[in-house]
Structure 1
Amino acid sequence: MSLAAGPGRAGTISDQLPDELRLVVDKHVSYIQSLDTRRDELEYHLTEHLRISGIYWGLTALHLLHHPSALPREGIVAFVLSCLHPNDGFGAAPGHDAHMLYTVSAVQILAMTDGFAELEDSVPNGKRKVAEYIAGLQQPNGTFAGDDWGETDTRFLYGALNALSLLNMLPSQRPNEPPLIDIKAATDHVKSCLNHDGGFGVSPGAESHAGQIFTCLGALSITGELDSFLGESGKDRLGAWLSERQLDDSGGFNGRPMKLVDVCYSWWVGSSLAMIGKLDWIDRERLKGFILRCQDAEEGGMADRPGDMVDVFHTCFGVAGLSLLGCEGVGAVDAA
């Protein structure tokens, strides 16, 4: 079982759409279901390096659209387990090297499909072994590398905490056992990425970016330190920076100043605002309209911007953005 995760069809929606746009749930479900049937297309094979993430994006969207069983559970779990590397991490597809990002996607998929029992059947003590792989990527300064080659990023740190929490392997979840990771070092690293404008960068001193803000807030939320670290003044400063990502001409968000809007930031920015209690600082109806204009109302799927080609990545995060706005046909989601 796999999903294509790359370029899709060109959208059929123009920028000029009626206000009464509605989410075409059935079309999006059918689009996601169709992705594994497109193996004769070049894009399918060019995106093999995103395969397990593509499954996560599609499955997440289906859960939010109230169709969690639209993909075959047994096939999904079997494919995920086929991506398990001998070092106990997961690769993007069978035979690929393990990486933090794909390991996180695999853990998230197994959590959504109740697949941890199959993991334990396949690899004795499998959950702990996967957790130990993740923990082994923590660096002396508290951050995490993506793989054995050592690139570090706050995405990997957040992903590590996310996956470990789903595996029930965080130190706080196992207080009577030796900790697998240094939580204090990890949170200290996140805190060091805070900038004077209220945002967070990929590393200390790096430019604030909405995607990195999400990962840093998510990490602090998982460790229970978000409120105590930012305080109300920090939340106000960050909320101002995030709310300025909404552009007047479209209602969509960009990731940083002077960049184009992209539907995926509906989630990165929107969920960050939700985590600090500032989601009402933006025009929710205009954001909702922008997301709905990004959908292909005839064939399903969402694009980065209206009229562009749809893909499963933007479909996932467009739907996730709608989940924050109380859109009809979309379930609620935990922002972290």
Structure 2
Amino acid sequence: MSLAAGPGRGRVADGQLPDDLKLVVDKHVAYIKSLDTRRDELEYHLTEHLRVSGIYWGLTALHLLGQPDALPRAGVLDFVFSCLHENGGFGAAPGHDPHMLYTVSAVQILAMLNGFEELETKVPDGKMKIAKFISKLQQPDGTFAGDEWGETDTRFLYGAFNALSLLGLMPYQRPNDAPLIDVSAGTAHVKACQNFDGGFGLSPGAESHSGQVFTCLGILAIAGELDSHLGEEGKDRLGAWLSERQLESGGLNGRPEKLVDACYSWWVGSSMTMINRLHWLDQPRLTKFILECQDPDEGGIADRPGDMVDVFHTVFGIAGLSLMGYDGLLEVDPA
């Protein structure tokens, strides 16, 4: 997720929401800033395996809220570097094994904080070292494993393309050098994951899921193959499936017969934005649903109204509002 204008962005007009239903920006900023101070709480230690990604989620939310400096830059960078391994991969926290997911989060944090110069100072040729860790995880069929144990997933394929593009090391960004990865094999795998309903699954033949739709569209977008693969007819078919994810409450689910969840405001909303079909959703109702998931007193956003908040749903709820052009939020790139 990067902070830039994306195609097909929506706009919720003034007067379409109740006057007392507003995004509690200051509360959300305070909530995110407080997360690292709760070290005496059990939840803090139970989520250690998500720490780097949690920092990325919080930092992204703060950027979108217009408070990019709310977390101490030097402290964040020091923690990220403490998770870096000799092989160029990052773990979720110091002492954790390197993994694609946390490597991607670390690269995204470095990109947002303009931390690549510090990386090169600490680790000579650090960007290339990270890129080689990622490239070695590509499998013969174009997929990427998450780590040395070999589990593959379109999340890891998307993460590889995302991180390498931020590092400036995708093949199209360095056409005169030997490619680090096989882009064509990766996009061919993604295309094989598309189903008759227009959606994409975890692997060829797997059930369509909104989260996998996001990863697959993101891969095709980064590779420059989104329009050529789908075309307008394909976008209509996929857009129809995605629009059916909106339920009576205004919230979105990941697949048929599942509960709504605020995080799908991002997974579905970003996908609809990438194919220029965001206007097919009832944006005022979705906006109302996200705002009702807030804790108006302590800040943070939950999966559903009345549930406990967490930083994961906070960032993806805010990012969903950004896609819909909510007043005061920075624009987010859907890919």
TM-score (norm 2): 0.94
For residues 125-182 of structure 1, give each alpha carbon's deviation from its aligned partner in whole angstroms, at most 9, with x where no partner exists: 0000000000000000000000000000000000000000000000000000000000
- Name 1:262's counterpart in structure 2: 261
- Name 1:68's counterpart in structure 2: 68
- 8 A contact 1:23–1:328 mirrored in 2: no
- Summarize the alignment of residues 68-147 of structure 1 with structure 2, pairs less than 5 Å apart: 68-147=68-147
- Name 2:36's counterpart in structure 1: 36
Distance (whole Å) between structure 2 residues aligned to residue 175 and residue 20 of structure 1: 53
Gaps of 5+ in 1: 1-16
Distance (whole Å) between structure 1 residues aligned to residue 19 and residue 290 of structure 2: 12
- 8 A contact 1:104–1:159 mirrored in 2: yes
- Summarize the alignment of residues 201-212 of structure 1 with structure 2, pairs less than 5 Å apart: 201-212=201-212
- Name 1:314's counterpart in structure 2: 313
Distance (whole Å) between structure 2 residues aligned to residue 85 and residue 114 of structure 1: 20
Distance (whole Å) between structure 2 residues aligned to residue 254 and residue 194 of structure 1: 19
- Name 1:51's counterpart in structure 2: 51
- 8 A contact 1:119–1:126 mirrored in 2: yes
Displacement of 1:221 in angstroms is 0.2
Answer yes or no: is 1:216 the counterpart of 2:205. Answer: no
- Name 1:4's counterpart in structure 2: none
Displacement of 1:327 in angstroms is 1.0
Give runs of ≥4 in structure 1 deviating > 4 Å.
Answer: none
- Name 2:297's counterpart in structure 1: 298
Report the residue type matching 2:141 in the other structure: N
Gaps of 5+ in 2: 1-16
Question: Cα RMSD (Å) of the superposition?
Answer: 0.9
- Name 1:5's counterpart in structure 2: none
Give the number of equivalent residue pairs. Answer: 319
- Name 2:331's counterpart in structure 1: 332
Displacement of 1:18 in angstroms is 4.7
Distance (whole Å) between structure 1 residues aligned to residue 222 and residue 278 of structure 2: 19
- Summarize the alignment of residues 187-202 of structure 1 with structure 2, pairs less than 5 Å apart: 187-202=187-202
Distance (whole Å) between structure 2 residues aligned to residue 19 and residue 335 of structure 1: 28
Distance (whole Å) between structure 1 residues aligned to residue 50 and residue 140 of structure 2: 29
Distance (whole Å) between structure 2 residues aligned to residue 91 and residue 36 of structure 1: 18
Report the residue type matching 1:122 in the other structure: K
Answer yes or no: is 1:174 the counterpart of 2:163. Answer: no
SS at match of 2:266: helix
- Name 1:289's counterpart in structure 2: 288
Report the residue type matching 2:148 in the other structure: D
SS at match of 1:151: coil
Distance (whole Å) between structure 2 residues aligned to residue 129 and residue 316 of structure 1: 29
TM-score (norm 1): 0.94
SS at match of 1:90: coil
Displacement of 1:329 in angstroms is 2.4
SS at match of 2:194: coil
SS at match of 1:203: coil
Distance (whole Å) between structure 2 residues aligned to residue 173 and residue 245 of structure 1: 36
Report the CA distance shift for 1:19/1:205 in structure 2 as closer, same or farther (over 3 A): farther
- Percent of residue pairs identical: 75
SS at match of 1:318: helix
SS at match of 1:43: helix
- 8 A contact 1:157–1:219 mirrored in 2: yes
Distance (whole Å) between structure 2 residues aligned to residue 179 and residue 254 of structure 1: 38
- 8 A contact 1:23–1:329 mirrored in 2: no
- Name 1:247's counterpart in structure 2: 247
